[in-house]
Amino acid sequence: AKMENHTRISEFILVGFKSHPGSQVLLSVLFSTMYIVTVVGNICMMLIIRMDPSLHTPMYFFLENLSTLDICYSSVITPRAALAFLLDRRSISYAGCASQMFFFSLFGTAEAFFLAVMAYDRFAAVCNPLLYQVIMSRRLCVLMVVGSYLSGCINCTIQTGFTFTLSFCGHREINHFFCEVAAVIHASCSDTLVNELVMLAVCGPIIVGTALVVFISYGYIIIKIIQMPSAESRHKAFSTCSSHMVTICLFFGTVFFMYAQPGAAASPSKSNTISIFYTVVIPMLNPFIYTLRNREVKGSLKKQLKRRGV
């Protein structure tokens, strides 16, 4: 009987966004385009930072790492989803589903920590400019990045481990376009109360903790900006921070809605649309938000193009 139970769910079927064929092609084109823009945008960002020694500062060290993370994060979900929409191949193997969940949770958690680390970095730069180099030492920067990934590893091991101890009986359909934790829990025929509590106990503090660091840091930054004597320096500081705030509000708003409230696993159709934001849209927007509003990067880009005679 055990063997039979295992063979019954050798694969899952992802039924998120299942509608008439015309819109499937459109979704596929949309996802593919966003994925290409994400990869190209983030690679360009990494190259600009690598090639210009004047950008070898803590802020850009984090940005370079964020770009790498965003490519990985997006690659776990978007290409597969685009292909599934196009070919209407919606099955994913049991192991494939587990590994997708594992890496998605890993990179997603790391992204939340990265945004917190970057907010703290901006806080140190704006509020303690004289001590900035001392506070944000190379060693601390590396430790923060490693710490972000380690937190991701702990979270994804717990989430994936707990989720895949559930039994799925004949329920193979997952109401999502990827193996997202809440959607997979929802497809189980076991009692999922423990899983939902674990999700809340682990994800809740991560989301609330990182969001608090972000919002407290930006609170101090905004106060500091308001106190600046000249309008020009206020405008300059505010324009860099406002763009960061947009990404942060988008990311934490959607993630909070998905994971940090009880019964998060209850409304799959709503969560399908919302999760497009933090899985596909935000990794695509990050390089634009962090670079286009940034004089140093624009200056560096012009310099490098000039050098190549473009």
pTM of the model: 0.87
Give the per-residue pLDDT at 261. Answer: 62
Q: How far apart are CA 30 and CA 276, in angstroms?
A: 11
**Distance, C-alpha 15 to centroid of its chain:** 22
Pairing of strands 11-14, 91-93: antiparallel
- Quick one: CA dihedral 57, 61, 66, 71, positive or negative? positive
Sheet holding 91-93, edge to edge: 91-93, 11-14, 173-174
**Tokens 């907010």 sit on residue:** 119
Q: How far apart are CA 251 and CA 69, in angstroms?
A: 14
Whats the size of the chain, residue-wise? 310
Give the per-residue pLDDT at 6. Answer: 43
Written as six digits, the tokens of 175 are 């109401």
How many CA within 13 A on the CB side of residue 239?
A: 10
Give the per-residue pLDDT at 1. Answer: 37
- The answer to whether the beta carbons of residues 77 and 277 sit under 8 Å apart is no
Neighbouring C-beta atoms of residue 287, cutoff 10 Å? 24
| Domains in the chain with CATH codes | 11-291 (1.20.1070.10)
Q: Which residues contact 278 (CB under 8 A, 6 or more apart)?
A: 108, 111, 250, 251, 254, 255, 258
Q: Tell me the mean pLDDT per 10 residues along the chain, length 310.
A: 50 82 85 95 91 88 94 94 88 93 95 93 89 92 97 95 87 87 86 87 90 93 87 78 80 79 59 82 85 72 76
Alpha helix (H) residue ranges in 164-281: 181-187, 193-226, 231-259, 268-276
Give the per-residue pLDDT at 7. Answer: 41
Give the per-residue pLDDT at 144. Answer: 96
Q: How far apart are CA 213 and CA 295, in angstroms?
A: 26
Cβ density class 129-161: b for 16+ within 10 Å, e for less: eeebeeebeeebbeebbeebbebbeebbebbbe
- Quick one: CA dihedral 4, 183, 72, 164, positive or negative? negative
Q: Which of 303, 265, 308, 276 is nearest to 31 (CA)?
A: 276
**Distance, C-alpha 280 to centroid of its chain:** 8
Secondary structure, 3-state, 222-234 = HHHHHCCCCHHHH
